[in-house]
Chains A and B, each alone.
Chain A
Amino acid sequence: MSSKGNMIKLPNTLSFRLTFCYALTFLVCLVSALLALYVYLDTIFNSRMDDDLKEDIAEFRELLDDGGLERIIDEINREMNSSDQSEVFFRLLDSQGTVVFSSDVSEWEGLEDHTAKILPKATASLIPVLETVEFPDREYPVRIVLGKMAPDLVLQIGETLEKKEEIMELLFKVFAGMVFLGIPLASGVGWVIARKAVSGIEEVSRAAKDIEQGDLERQVTVKAREEEIQTLMNTFNAMAARIRGLIREMREMTDNIAHDLRSPLARIRAMSEGALSEPDSTKGYRIAAAETLKECDRLIHLINTTLDMAEVDAGVTNGMKESINLSQLIADLCELFEPVAEEKHIMLKVNLEQNCQIVGTKHHLQRMVANLLDNAMKYTPPEGQVSIELIRSTHEFRLTITDTGVGIPRSDQHRVFDRFFRCEHSRSQEGCGLGLSFARSVARAHGGDITVTSESSQGSTFTSTFPIISSAA
C-alpha cells in the first residue's frame, strides 16, 4: 500500500500538453461566456421584477388619490382573486406597523420581523424600499416592496421569486450540460490538432534514430503542411547530408593520411633493416640515422600541417588576427626564395602594389604564399620564369603567381586544392599534398579564395584574392 505514489504522473508529451492547453483554454472561454450570460439574465429578471413592483406602488397611489382606501382594498381583492395567495400578498400598514388591511398571509411566516426592520425607512421618504427576503419555510426567496401611500399609510407587496429562480435553475443545468459536453469535444479537437503538429516532429525523430543506429543515408521524405515543421525537416535533411559529406571526406582523408604515413614509415623500416643487416659500418649507420631523421621530420611536418589546417578551418586563430601589410609580407618571401631561383636559373619577376593592408593571421598568410612560391619553383624547369603580381582592385587585392612550369592537366585542375591530392607528375616531388589545400584554407579564412588556370607544359597561374575591408569598418 505504501508504495502507491500520492501524485498522478501526467504524460509529458507535446501532444498531451497541446491537447490539455487547448481543452483548458476552450473550457475557460466557454465557462466565462456562460457565466456572464447567466449573471446578465439574472440581473435583467431582477430589475424587471423591481420595475413591476414599483409600478404597482405608483398605481395604488393613484387609486388612493382617486377613490380613497376602499378603492385600494377593492383592487387588492381583485388582484388576489386572480393569483395564488402563496405567491403574492398585499398589506396596508400605518406608520407604527399596525395592519390596516391584509390579504391572506398565513403562508408567510416571519413576515412581521422583517417588516418591523424596514418600516421606519419606508415611512421616511416617498421612494419605495425593495428587499429580497428568505423565509425559513419557503423554498424560494421573496421580493418585498414597501411604498408610502399617505402620511400614515404604507403599502407592502411581496412576490415570490419562484418563477425566475426556476428559469435560472434550468439555465444553469443547460449551461452545465454544455460545459460537460465541451470537455470531451475540446479535448478531441485539441488532440487531433496536436497530433497533426507533432507527427512531423515524430517523423524527424524517427529519422534521427535511424541515423543514430547507422543508417546514414536516411532522409525525411514526408511533406509537412506546416511551414515550421517543413523547415525543421529541410534543415534536418541538410544536416544529415552535411554529416554524410563530412564522414565521406574524413574517410578519404584517413585513407590518404594512412597512405602518406605508410610511405615514410616503409622507408624508415627499410633503411633500419638494411643498416642492421650490414656488417658493422659506422658510415652506413650514420646515413641510415640521418635518413630516418629526415623521414621523421617529414612525418612530423605532415601531422602538423594537417592539424594546422584543421585549426585554420575551424577559425581557432581568428582571435590572433592583426593588421598586415600584404605587400611587405610577399616581398619578404620573394626575397627569401631569390637564392633558390638564382640557383635554378629561374627569372623571378616581382611586381607588387605598395601598402596593401589586410587583417589576418600573419604566419598563416606567410605560409600560404611560401607554399605557392615553393610550388612555382619546384615545377618550373631551369631557365623558366616565375612572376608574382599583387594588384589592388576596387574591392579586393589580387595576388597572381604565374610559372612556366609543367602545368596541371585539365582533368586535375579542380582537384589540386583537395587535401592529399597529388598530380601524377608531382608524386616524384617532395611534399605531402597539403600545400595548396592549406593555401585555400587560409585564403578562405581571410574571406577570399584561390583559383588556378593552367595549360599543360605551358605553366600555371594561381590567383588568390583577399577582400579589402575598409578601414572605417
Chain B
Amino acid sequence: MRILLIEDDQVIADFIQKGMKEAGFAIDHIADGLIGLHAALTQDYDVGILDLMLPGLDGLSILDRLRQEKKNLPIIILSAKRTVDDRIAGLRHGGDDYLVKPFSFSELLARVESLLRRAQHVVEPTSLSFHDLTLDLLARTAVRSGRRLDLQPKEFALLEYLVRNAGHVVSKTMIMERVWDYNFDPGTNVVEARISKLREKVDKDFESSLIHTVRGLGYVLKRQHD
C-alpha cells in the first residue's frame, strides 16, 4: 500500500510519515503542489493525503486537475479550514474525505484504512473476531471464550468499533462520531462511563483484559502484553 502525502508543513509531514511507516504503509512526501500533482498523475498510489494551502498549486486546484484527468486516486483533504463551506467545497472538488487540523493520528489512520477498504470493495464480513472474542454482526451478539456477553445495542456497537480497529488507538472523538454519530464532544465523561460499563462485561470475569486506556489518546483493543 502506497500513500502520497502532499503537505508543506514539515512537522506535520514528519509526524504522518513516521506513523504511517509504523502502521506498515509506504509513504512519499512532497511539499509542493505542482510537483505533488505531477507525482499523483504519473505514479501509482493507493491513497492521497492532501493539504489545501500549498506552495506551487493549491489543494483544490490539484483535485480539479486530478478529477479532470479521470484519476480515481482516493483523496483525504487535511486542512485547518473548518467551516461548513470549506468542507463542502473540498468534497465538491472531488475529495473523498475531509479531516480538520489539528487532528489525531489515529483518526487519520482510521480514515485512510476506511478509504482503502472502500476502494478495494472489501466484502463486509458477517463476523469479526479478536483473540477469544467473536462478534456475530448479523445477530448482533458477542461471545468471549465460549461465553455469551449480555450487551446492549450501543455497547455492541462500541465493541464492534473497537474490534474493527483492533491494535489501533481510537480517540473519544472518533468513538462519539462513529458509534453515536455525534460530531462534538458531549462533555465530561460520557465515553469513559460507557467504556467502564463495557469493561465490566467484556473483561471483568476473564483472565486477560482486552480494552486498554492509552493516556491522553483514547482506547485500544489488544491482548494484555502485546
User: What residues make up the interface of A, taking CB atoms closer than 8 Å to B?
Assistant: 286-287, 289-294, 296, 300-301, 304, 307, 311, 316-317, 320, 332-333, 335-337, 339-340, 342-343, 363, 366-367, 370-371, 373-374, 377-378, 430, 435
Contact = CB atoms under 8 A, between A and B. Distances in A.
Interface residues of B, number: 23
B188 A340 contact: yes
Contacts of A320: 84
A254 B170 CA distance: 34
12 contacts: A316-B85, A320-B84, A336-B186, A336-B190, A339-B197, A363-B182, A370-B182, A370-B187, A371-B187, A374-B187, A377-B188, A378-B188
Contact of B215 (A290, A301, A342): A290
Given A316-B83, A336-B180, A339-B197, A367 B215 contact: no
Q: Which 6 A-B pairs have the closest CB atoms?
A: A290-B216, A374-B187, A339-B193, A370-B186, A293-B216, A290-B215
Interface string B158-188: 0000000000000000000000101111111
A289 B214 CA distance: 12
Given A296-B102, A311-B83, A343-B196, A301 B185 contact: yes
B194 A339 contact: yes
Given A300-B102, A340-B188, A374-B188, 12 more contacts: A290-B215, A291-B216, A293-B216, A304-B82, A311-B83, A316-B84, A337-B186, A339-B197, A342-B197, A367-B186, A371-B187, A373-B187
B184 A366 contact: yes
B82 A374 contact: no
Contacts of B35: none
Contacts of B193: 339-340, 342-343
A287 B82 CA distance: 30
Nearest to A286: B215
Contacts of A378: 187-188
B154 interface: yes
B84 A293 contact: no
B133 to A, nearest CB: 21
Given A293-B217, A340-B193, A430 B188 contact: yes
A157 B83 CA distance: 100
Interface of B: 82-85, 102, 154, 180, 182-190, 193-194, 196-197, 215-217
A287 B215 contact: yes
B102 A340 contact: no
A287 B85 CA distance: 38
Contacts of B186: 333, 336-337, 366-367, 370, 373-374
Nearest to B155: A339
- Chain A binding surface SS class: helix
A114 to B, nearest CB: 91
A436 to B, nearest CB: 12
Contacts of A289: 216
Contacts of B182: 336, 363, 366-367, 370
Contacts of B83: 307, 311, 316
Given A287-B215, A340-B189, A367 B82 contact: no
Contacts of A363: 182-184
A46 B93 CA distance: 86
Nearest to A435: B187
Nearest to B153: A335
A378 B154 CA distance: 23
A317 B196 CA distance: 36
A300 B82 CA distance: 12
Contacts of B190: 336-337, 339-340, 374
Nearest to B195: A339
Contacts of A430: 188
Contacts of A316: 83-85
Contacts of B217: 290, 293
Nearest to B180: A336
Nearest to B152: A335
Contacts of B102: 296, 300
- A291, A342, A366: residue with the most chain B Cβ atoms closer than 10 Å: A366
- A311, A317, A340: residue with the most chain B Cβ atoms closer than 10 Å: A340
Contacts of A294: 216
A300 B185 CA distance: 11
Contacts of A311: 83-84
Contacts of A293: 216-217
A343 B197 CA distance: 9
A310 to B, nearest CB: 10
Contacts of A336: 180, 182, 186, 190
B96 to A, nearest CB: 21
- B187, B197, B216: residue with the most chain A Cβ atoms closer than 10 Å: B187
Nearest to A343: B193
B84 A370 contact: no
A286 B85 CA distance: 38
Contact of A307 (B82, B85, B180, B197): B82
A276 to B, nearest CB: 18
A186 B220 CA distance: 91
